[in-house]
Structures are given as structure tokens and as C-alpha cells.
Amino acid sequence: MTKIAVLDDYQNVAQMLGPWDRLGNDVQLTAFTEHLAGDEVGERLAPFEVVVAMRERTPFTRELLEALPNLRLLVTTGPANAAIDVDAAAELGIAVAATGFSLASTVELTWGLILATTRHLCAEDRAVREGRWQHTIGPELHGGTLGLVGLGNTGRMMAPIARAFGMRVTAWSLNLTEERAAAEGIEAVSRERLFAESDVVSVHYSLGERSRDLVGVAELRAMKPTAFLINTSRGPLVDEEALIRALREGWIAGAGLDVFDVEPLPPDHPLRTLPNTVLTPHIGYVASQHYESWYLDIVEDIEGWLKGTPVRLLTPAS
């Protein structure tokens, strides 16, 4: 009997969405609907030969992998996972497999946050339910400027939607050229200009040592007091302490955030009390079609491994 663990099944949908019957009767599936943390990760996962990780919520360090003597296959949702020590896994004889990834759901959520933040939708919804009527004024997007921090696959998908709203689109990233931006109908600008001129700044950047705190005090200070910051990429790309100060002191008008330094966001976190924020619990990728695609790939990964013909394997960088 092959024991399979699915982590962070918050919505309790793993068993329903995955075609697990394809694996036959010799597998035993356990879905954890609560997040495992600390020492309990190794303790609870020790019996399992296959573990399915939800994105980068659980760091699979060398220490943790060594504490899982039965683990032989680690599957991650998405095509890569910076929280998995792939080198250590290879040395320990643990295969690491991946799945596909859809950017559409993240782009859609980003625009949801832009609209909710700029037009104060959450505050107005709450006000209506409390018996009040019309107490905020939000800006039109039409005629404004969307500044994209990063112009990868997600950033490029943001641009045509912005143009449909009648927005000018600018972008900056470390290696972005004017020619590459122009090919997408986007104006490449300096980092300084992007933050100074944008009415909405949306972050779409890969997290690494060089990009940590990419948006800090200088960038937030440079923004208009009427501008909004949106982050659906990774929390540590934005200096969280600087952002809290910016929101409290009115350097910017507001922020829409789907990602945070610590997830789940601690109950006493100051962002929870700031009225000029819209906060979502890292659900950029949490959409029904995306999940269905992921669980199909997960079952295919396990099926291939069980048959001795593994698919979508991640290999050490070396």
C-alpha cells in the first residue's frame, strides 16, 4: 500500500478533484486540510512515500527530507518550487515532480484587487450591510497609468487588459529593453519614473536574493499620494514594514495584497487593521479550472512514478 499525503488542502477538494481511481486500490490517500508547521511536519509526514506540496507553503529543506525516511516522491504544484532542496532530494533518492501552471487566474485576481482597492469595494460593501450609503470616492482607471514591476509572462498578460480600461502601460525590470517592451505595446521606463508616474503599481517579479525588498522606502516615497500598490507575486518583494508605514502615513492611497512575508498572515498582523488595504489569502492561483488541471497532473506524476516511467521531474541545478 503506497501512502500519499496531500498538504494544505484548505478547501477540502483534493479527493474530489483528483482522478485518484487511476492509481488503483493499492494507494492510501490522506489530505491535510490544516497547514502543518514546525516539528509536526516531519512527525506527521514520516509514514508517507508520496507527498504532494501546495506551492511553496512548506519548505522541504535537507533537514526535513532527511527526517522523512519513507519519502520517495515529492510532487509540487507548479513548474518549480524554490522551497524544495532539489539537490538534497536527489542525493537522498527522492524524485521531485512538478505540474503545469496557469497564469490566467492570477491575472484575473490582480485586476480584482485593482478594482476593489481603487474603488473601495470592500468598504462600500460593508457600509451597505451596516445601513450606510456612499461614503467613498475612487478614481477612474481610464486615463491613468499602470506601472508593471516586471514584464514576464504575467506582466505581459496585464497589459492588454489595462489598455481595454484606457490606461497607459509602463514597465520596468532589471534587464528590460525598450524593444522588448515596445513589442508588447508597453513603454519601458526607469525604476524611478515608474514609481513616480504610476497611478497603480502592480508587482510581477520573481523572488530572489537580489529582488527581496525590491519595493522599499524610496520607491513608496516616490509614489503619488493618490497611487495604489498591488502585489500578487511574492510578499518579500515589498518591504512590509515600509509598506505599513506608507499606508499609515498616507504616502500612498492604498494597497491590494494577495501575498505576505508570513503566510497565513498572523492574527495580530498590523496589515489586518489598516482600512486602506484589500487583503486576500494568497488565492491568485486558487481557481477551479486551475486546481482541476493541477490534480490531473499530480495523479499523472504519481502514476508515472509507480509504473517506473516518471514524468515532469525536476533535476538539480548542477
| Catalytic site positions | 234, 263, 282
Q: Name the grid cell of 197.
A: 508616474
Nearest to 38 by CA among 70, 63, 11, 4: 63
Under 8 Å between Cβ of 218 and 244? no
Nearest to 240 by CA among 204, 208, 264, 269: 269
Helix (H, G, I), strand (E, B) or coil at 263: coil
Amino acid identity for residue 227 in this structure:
A
Residue 131: how many other CB atoms lie within 10 Å? 6
- Helices (H), ranges, the chain: 14-17, 39-45, 62-66, 86-91, 104-118, 121-129, 153-164, 178-183, 191-197, 217-222, 240-249, 288-306
Give dist(CA 296, CA 28) in Å, integer: 17
Give dist(CA 114, CA 106) in Å, integer: 12
Nearest to 284 by CA among 145, 150, 158: 158
Calculate the dihedral angle through the C-alpha atoms of 212, 224, 246, 125, rounding to the nearest 10 degrees.
-110
> In angstroms, what CA-CA distances link 259 with 19, 106, 204?
30, 12, 12
